[in-house]
Structure formats: C-alpha cells, structure tokens
Amino acid sequence: MKTKQIRQAYGEALVRIGKKDKRIIVLDSDVSNSTKSCIFEEKFPERFFNVGISEANMAGMAAGLATAGKIPFINTFATFMVLRAGDPIHSLIAYTNLNVKIAGAYSGLSDSYDGASHHSLIDIAFMRALPNMSIISVSDPVETEKSVKACLDIEGPVYLRLSRAEMPYIYDDNYNFEFGKGNILVDGSDLTIIATGYMVHKALEAAKLLKNEGINVRVVNIHTIKPIDTELLIKCAKETRAIVTVEEHSIYGGLGAAIAEVIVSNYPVPMEIVGIQDVFCESGDYEQLLNKYGLCAENIVVKSKLVLSRKYVEK
Amino acid sequence: MILTNVQEVKIVNLCKKFRIELIKCLHTVGSGHPGGSLSATEIITTLYFHELNVNPKNPNDPDRDRFILSKGHAAPMLYLNLAEKGYFDKSELSNLRQMNHMLQGHPCAKTTPGIDLSTGPLGLGISAAVGMAIAGKLDKKGYNVYVLIGDGETQEGIVWEAAMAASKYKLDNLIVILDHNKVQLDGTIDEIMPLGDINAKWESFGWKVIETNGHNIRDISSALEEAKRAKGRPTIIIAETVKGKGISFMEGKNIWHGKPIDDEHFNLAMKELSGGN
C-alpha cells in the first residue's frame, strides 16, 4: 500500500502555494523540522519566521501580519497551538476574523511516544467553539495538499488538523476537494460510519469486517468539521437510520458531538461516538495505543452492532 | 516633526477637555477604567494630534501609521481621541459599553473605525505589533507601529516573547510606550509583582530605551522624535506617569483602576477638573 507522511505532504503543499502567492508567510516555533514547515524555509527564507519557543507570540505576530494583508500559516504541535497560543487565537485572530491559517501538527495520539502532554485530544472542541473559525481535518496526503490550497479561498481563520502519521492514500490527484462537503467513500444502507483524519482508514477497515458479516455500511469522511455538512448528515440519518462516529479526540466537543448536535435537532437516530473516553493516554506505539483506547476497527465493529441493535429495537 | 507652541497649547487644552469628558462618560455609564485612562491621556493625545500619520477619512490606508492600545482598558481615552479626530460621531461616546453600539468595553477592530487591533487581554498587543512591523519591512512601507503598554502588563510573559522577536528582526519601525504609572488593579506594582530595573531589562533585550515625562506634551514629543532616529533596533519610551492623574483622590490609588464613579465622586472630580479653567 502506497503511503506518505502527512507532514511531508503539508510542507510540500506550502511551497506550492508559496510560489504562486507572495502574501503567504510561514511562522514556526522551533519545531519546523517536525512540522516540515522547514521545506518552505528552504525555498522562501525571506518569508519564513522561526520565532523560537513562543507559540503565543507566534500567533500574535501572525495576527499583526494578517492585518497588513499577509496570509500567515502558523505551525506547532496541535496541543501547544491550543494550550499555548489559544489566547491570541481567540482574542486576536478569531475575534477579528483575521486571515491566519493555523496548522496543528501531531494531532490526536500521533505523537504517541511523547506521552499525554504531547497528545492533542481537545483541539477540535476548542476550535469549534470559536466564532469565525473553520476546521479541516485531513485523512490522506492528497487531502492534505488540497486542504492547504483550499485554505486560501477562505477569508478568515482556518484550523488545519494535521498528523505525525504516515497515511495510506485514499484519494488520487483527481480528488475534487470541496470545503464544507463530506464524502461518501463506501455506500451502504444499514448504518453510516462517519470519521475524520486517520480514523477514516479505521472506518474503512471496520466496514470491510462488517461486510463479511453481511452488514452494509456507508462510510463518510468529514474533512470539514466546521462548518459541518449538515445536509449530508441528515441524508445519512434518514437513509441508514443509525450512525457511528469515529475520531482521534476526546468524546467531548469533537466530531461526534458536532454530528449529534445536527442529528438531534433534525432527524434523531441511534448514535455511538467512538473517541477517547475522558482519560489522559500514555506513551507507546501509535497503533498499539489506538487499539488500547478503542480507536480501531474492532471497536468500531462493536459499536456498530450496538447501534444496530438499538436501531432495530427502536424501529 | 517639531512641536510648535501653538500645537502644544492645543494638545494641553484637548487633554483638559478629554479628562472632563472621560469622567462624565464613565459616570454616565457606571463602568469603565478611569485610572489607566487618566495616566495615558497626554500620551494618546500627543500621538493622535501630533505624531501619527493617519487619516480618519481613510482609516484602512495601507501606508498609515499603526497605533495599538495594548493596555486595552484605557479604551475610553482612545475613543475620545478617535471621536475628536472624526473617525465616528461624538454622540457614540455616550453609548460606551452599551448593547447595540460600537464602542466596546475594550477596543474592537471589527466594530469601531480607527482601531488597528482588538485588544484587552494584556500582552497581546505588542505581539501583534511585531507582526505589523515585520509586514511594513517586507512591503518596504514607511509606516511606524506605535504601541502603548501598561507597566503591570509587562508581567505577562508574552511581552518578553515579543520583545525578543522585535530585537531579532531589528524592528526600528516599532515604538513601544510604557505607561509607567506604578499601580495595577490589586495594588502598587511593588506590592503585587515588582518589575525590577525596567530600563536594564529592555536594554538587555536589545531595545533602545528613552525616558520621558508622560504628562508633558513637549517631552513626549521629543522622546518620539528620538525614537524615530533608532536604527536596527526597536525603541521603548518609559513614560513616567501617575495613575488617575488630574483628580487628586484618584492619583496613585489602585481602587480607581476600574471603579464606577458615583455622584459624590463625580461632583468632586468635576470641581477639580474645571477649577483650572
């Protein structure tokens, strides 16, 4: 299976857009070799600013640059983006709808060995609650490149949820990435599994396992978590009448919560949210951690059967 | 630009008027921050009526000088200046902090013309100013970025992150003015969190440091002139001020940082402020 590091795809995409648009400025807070913003630095050193270990100041500077018509991309680990730079992101960037692109590297458990302090499991919750903020969460290298480009069409802040993981390709270059629109990757009528980021791969795996048991699953990739594709979500609720959501994030305030908010007010159906259960995780191998904390195909299968049992009882 | 005597008298009179209007305004709305507005009166007014290259008819001119009130709680004094300059109608002042009106409790760039940056959470303004100054350098524009920060504000870590960055990027188009009124919300700076040797701190961060009397128009104006002569490094003007300046019972008193002005204190203040006329 062909795979690529998401951060590599991101760094290369920055160069591609940077070539065409001189307004693009890239800032990093001393993790450019990890986020791969260093690829941009090599090509455009005059538009690259390494501000040292000062995430809040990086976001503040980006706000200032944006007021003067620049399009800054700021880079650090997702957890520090929220917890260290959250103040200027809230009070300067989101409040005034400044055109700053916020790239959260190493989201979820992807920086697995570094432990709970480096895992990012609350970033979606924080970013979703900010007015004016858009959120894109990527599931493969092609989607990463397309989202970086799509950011430029949005006049205002975008949170790009990236990953340290090496991900298999879901899409090819013909992929028509549409901001705000989810994609049905596999069609089915028994239930819909809706996932984002690396979990899309786990959802596809689960769908195969369920298919072997005669259960026809629809799999949806929600790359734009905000604004969420309300129309598609309601359609899935109506057509499959059962939903399982999967995300590498706390079960509070993330993708599952966003979908539940749409479903309860429009077309309530049985739902299960697969995510991290209100705990801090630990150091370890990435895949082993995902398995331990239930972010795996097997657990999605269990939750799918649970939601189906409720679907048929409630029917 | 040399300050003429006529200009100096004009600014002195404006400051006198602004202090009166400030107290009227805060008394009417029953909230807002008198102390830090009064210490910054001469600084903000000298900037708007002598220093800044800005045009109220074209508030977003890309070549304009920028002014950031990083100590956003002094918003009423900024609003008085902006209204006097003609950015919006003076009648807005009586709707300060009121629902459905433009003048927010802390400056908001979205709702109020003439505001270059939304501020309020302390320390953020100087950080954004570094970004604005870098943008000016990248675009080879001649504008300066002026930032007014509080002394208590420098207790925020981000101020020093920004100070390091401004020095690294040699931002001689960045001028920070420190309103050194020596009092913060809960007490004096020395009681709450002493700042130590302020000049030495900024100098060691690579900044040019200028001291001035923050209530003397001529001194402020010459400090600004000197700041603009800096090459290859940012400047900070340490402006010695008095919190609550101009109203005897407010001077140096932390309780007047954000206390509503009741009728009794309003009458006392008005008597003092009008006395000099």
Task: Check pLDDT > 60 for residue B277.
Answer: no
Q: Check A88 against B161: CB less than 8 A apart.
A: no
B44: closest CA of chain A, how far (Å) = 20
Question: Which residue numbers of A are catalytic?
Answer: 55
Please tell me which of the candidates B132, B138, B165 has its beta carbon nearest to residue A57.
Answer: B165
Per-residue pLDDT in tens (0 to 9) along chain A, 315 residues: 899 999 999 999 999 999 999 999 999 999 999 999 999 999 999 999 999 999 999 999 999 999 999 999 999 999 999 999 999 999 999 999 999 999 999 999 999 999 999 999 999 999 999 999 999 999 999 999 999 999 999 999 999 999 999 999 999 999 999 999 999 999 999 999 999 999 999 999 999 999 999 999 999 999 999 999 999 999 999 999 999 999 999 999 999 999 999 999 999 999 999 999 999 999 999 999 999 999 999 999 999 999 999 998 755
pLDDT computed for residue B32 by the predictor: 87
Asked if the C-beta of B129 comes within 8 angstroms of chain A's C-beta atoms, the answer is yes
Query: How many Å apart are CA A147 and CA A174, to the nearest integer?
Result: 14
pLDDT digit string, tens, across residues B54-94: 999 999 999 999 999 999 999 999 999 999 999 999 999 99
Query: How many Å apart are CA A271 and CA A191, to the nearest integer?
Result: 10
Secondary structure of residue B99 in the 3-state scheme:
coil
Q: Check A64 against B130: CB less than 8 A apart.
A: yes
Cβ-based contacts of B158 with chain A (< 8 Å): 54, 56-57, 60, 87-88
Q: Where are the beta strands (DSSP E) in chain A?
A: 3-5, 24-28, 48-50, 71-77, 101-105, 134-137, 158-161, 166-168, 183-186, 191-195, 217-221, 224-226, 243-250, 271-276
**Does this complex have an ipTM over 0.85?**
yes
Q: Check A92 against B124: CB less than 8 A apart.
A: yes
Q: What distances in angstroms separate CA B72 from CA A131, A200, B36, B78, B91, one per listed residue?
A: 21, 45, 10, 9, 21
The CATH code belonging to domain B5-275 is 3.40.50.970
pLDDT digit string, tens, across residues A204-219: 999 999 999 999 999 9
Cβ-based contacts of B116 with chain A (< 8 Å): 67
Mean pLDDT score, B26-46:
94
Domains defined for chain A, CATH in brackets: 3-168 (3.40.50.970), 183-314 (3.40.50.920)
B contact test, residue of A57, A76, A83, A84 with most B CBs within 10 A: A57
Task: Check pLDDT > 90 for residue B258.
Answer: no
pLDDT digit string, tens, across residues A164-201: 999 999 999 999 999 999 999 999 999 999 999 999 99
Query: How many Å apart are CA A59 and CA A73, to the nearest integer?
Result: 9
Domain boundaries defined on chain B: 5-275
pLDDT computed for residue B276 by the predictor: 52
pLDDT digit string, tens, across residues B162-200: 999 999 999 999 999 999 999 999 999 999 999 999 999
Q: Check A68 against B132: CB less than 8 A apart.
A: yes
Q: Which residue has the tokens 């309860």?
A: A264
Residues B84 and B10: beta-carbon distance below 8 Å: no
Query: How many Å apart are CA A46 and CA B216, to the nearest integer?
Result: 41
Of chain B, the percentage scoring pLDDT greater than 90 comes to 95
In this structure, the strands spanning B183-184 and B187-188 are antiparallel
Chain center to CA of B43: 6
Q: Check A87 against B124: CB less than 8 A apart.
A: yes
pLDDT-derived band at B257 (thresholds 50, 70, 90) equals confident
pLDDT computed for residue B222 by the predictor: 97
